[in-house]
Amino acid sequence: MELDNRTLLVVVTFSTAVQTAAMFYVWRMQLRERSVGLLTVGFALIAIGTALIAMRPMLPPILTIVTGNSLVIAGQAVCSLAICDFAGRPLSMTFPIWLAAFTAGILTIFTFASPNIGIRVIVLSILIPLSLLPAMLALYSAPPGPTRRTYWPVGIVLTFHCVFAIARSIATAVGGTPADFFASNAITAAWFLESFAAINLVSLGLILMISQRLQLELDRQASYDGLTGALNRRAFERIAEGEWSRAVRHDLPLSVLVLDLDRFKMLNDTHGHDAGDVWLKSFAELCRGLLRREDLLCRYGGEEFIALLPQTPVHAAMQVADRIRRSVEGMRISHNGTDIAVTVSIGVATWNETVTDLKTMIAAADRALYRAKAAGRNRVESSENL
C-alpha cells in the first residue's frame, strides 16, 4: 500500500500544531519561563512552515518552498535555542535568524534562478542537523544524575533525526528526486513518517525534562534553607540518620559541629535584619568552602548551624572547627558603608560507645557549645572535655 505524501505532510503539520498547543499550555503553567516559551515559538514556526509546504501548488513557490522551508529550519533553530537555554548553555539569539536567512537565500536561488529540486532537498537535509547541533551538544553534556536520564533520550531522538536527514540527502544525490515533490516516492514518505515520530517523541521528552526540573526545584526548596542554601533541619535529619547508620554498621568515625554566631541578636538590633541576613549567607558560604563535599551543613535554626563530618575523628573535627572559627574571626562584611565583624562559638562531638544515637551526639555537641559560650565565646570546645 502506497502512502500519499501530501496526506503524510498534513499529519505532520497537525501533530506539530498539537505539540505547539501542549507547549503553550506548559508555558502558561510554568510561570512563563523563557525556554518553554521559545519551545512554543519553535514548534509554531515548524507547524506554519509545514502547513505552507503542504499547500503546494495552491500557493506560489515563494510561500510554499522558500518561506515554508525557511520557517521549518528557523523553528528547529529556535528549539535548539530553547534547549540550550534550558540546559544552561546560552546560544546567540541571532542563530535562528541567520540560519533562516541563509536557507531562504539558497532556496530562492534553486527555485527561481536555477530550479533544482534535488539540490534543494540535499541542502535542506544538511541544514536540519546544523540547526539541531547546538541542542544535541547541550543535551549530551548533561552531568551524571537524574537530568542525564531525561536529557540523553531526547538527544538520541534528535541524533537519529539528523542521521535520517543526512541519509535522505545521500539517497537523493544517488537516486534522484521526482519532478513532483508529492509524487509517490518511498524516500519522501519515509522522511515524513520519521519526522512525525521525531516530533512526538521530542515533544514528550521535552515535557518530561520540564517536569523533572520542576520536581527537582520543589525538592530543593523542601530540603534547603532559602536564605543560606544550607540544608534545612528536616532534610539534614533524614540524611544524617543514613550517615549515622553507615558509621555504626562499618565502625567508622563520625563527628558533628554545632556552630552559633556570637551576639547575633545584638548585630540585628544594631545594624538591622538585612545585615544579619548578609552575615548568615556569608557564613554559610564560608563554611561550604571549608568543608568537604561529603560533609553536611544545616541551618538548624536562627543563627545556629550544624555540620556533620563523616569519617572524621575528634581531633580532625576540632581542626576543622578551629579553621572555621579563625576564618570567621578575620572576616568583615560591609553593609551600608559599615564593616561588621562577628565571631562564632563551636561545640564538637564524636560518635563513641557512650553515644547511642544521632540526637545524643548532637546534644553532646550542643553542651560543648554552651561551654564555649560560657568561657568567653569565639572558642571551640569538645564534648570529650566535659
3-state helix, strand and coil shares in percent for the chain, rounded to the nearest 5: 70, 10, 20
| Per-block mean pLDDT, blocks of 10 residues, the chain (386 long) | 77 94 88 88 96 92 96 97 93 94 96 91 93 96 89 96 93 72 76 92 93 84 90 93 92 95 92 92 95 95 95 95 96 87 95 85 95 95 76
- Exposure string of 264-299, with b = 16+ CB inside 10 Å and e = fewer, is beebbeebeeebbebbbbbbbeebbebbeeebbbbb
Model pTM score: 0.74
Look up cell 514548534; give the residue. Answer: 43
What is the distance between the alpha carbons of residues 267 and 279, in angstroms, rounded to a whole number? 10
Instruction: Give me the residues paired with residue 348 across strands.
Output: 257, 382
Grid cell for residue 187: 524516500
Select 233-385's CATH number: 3.40.50.970, 1.20.58.220, 3.30.70.270, 3.90.1170.50: 3.30.70.270
Which of the 8 DSSP states describes residue 231? B
Q: Which amino acid is at 315?
A: H
Nearest 5 degrees, angle CA 152-CA 42-CA 199? 50
Q: What pLDDT does 218 receive?
A: 82
Pick from 354, 280, 373, 286: which is nearest to 314 by CA? 354
Q: Where are the domains of the chain?
A: 5-223, 233-385
What is the distance between the alpha carbons of residues 59 and 181, in angstroms, rounded to a whole number? 14
What is the distance between the alpha carbons of residues 90 and 81, in angstroms, rounded to a whole number? 8
Q: Which CATH class is domain 5-223?
A: mainly alpha
Helix (H) or strand (E) segment spanning residue 310: strand 304-310
Query: CA torsion sign, 44 to 49 to 51 to 52?
Result: positive
Active site residues: 303
Q: What pLDDT does 1 receive?
A: 46
